[in-house]
Structure 1
Amino acid sequence: MNMRKIIGWNLRKHRVERGMSQERLALAAEIDRAYVGRVERGSENVTTDTLAALANALGVAPAVLLTEPPEGAQEPPSLKSGRKPKAG
């Protein structure tokens, strides 16, 4: 697996585990939502500053996003589409 795919895989895994949409992650990292999607698909080279911003928004160390997934690991699932109901 190439490094862009590894970063994308880990980014999606940690984002989905936290129940964050791409839009919410992008807002927290102060980057464009479409860019997050491209990073997750492995079609974008990220800078170290962007990697750090994404890791910070997810509450993980940047090195976590660089760790190769275990062999045979399944791709993280998508979040359920649609908006979450408002609490209240």
Structure 2
Amino acid sequence: MSEEKLVLKNRLKETRKSKQLSQAALAKLVGVSRTTISSIETGQFSPTAKLALILCIALDVKFEDLFYF
């Protein structure tokens, strides 16, 4: 069996920009720091299920449209 992990990828940056939101504005909307948004966008940090759902609600997108493997 391979040691490859399933890594949650996202379309957060593209989606955020399409909604004309800055990282800071989105961060304020969902109650996290701008650096958290940046870390999620660059793949350095995977959000909790709760944060992922809050991001989907804030951006008005379906989970599977924002996150994928």
Range class of TM-score, shorter chain: 0.7 to 0.9
Give yes or no for the alignment of 1:40 onto 2:44. no
- Identity rate, percent: 23
Kindly indicate which of the two structures has a greater share of residues assigned to strand: 2
1:2-17 alignment runs, 5 A limit: 3-4=7-8, 6-7=9-10, 10-17=11-18
User: Where do 4+ consecutive residues of structure 1 move more than 3 Å?
Assistant: none
Give yes or no for the alignment of 1:60 onto 2:40. no
- RMSD of aligned Cα (Å): 1.5
Q: How many residue pairs were aligned?
A: 64
Offset at 1:3?
3.1
Aligned letter for 1:22?
A: Q
Aligned letter for 2:7?
A: M
Offset at 1:67?
3.7
Structure with max Cα Rg: 1
Q: Report the TM-score, using the length of structure 2 for normalisation.
A: 0.81
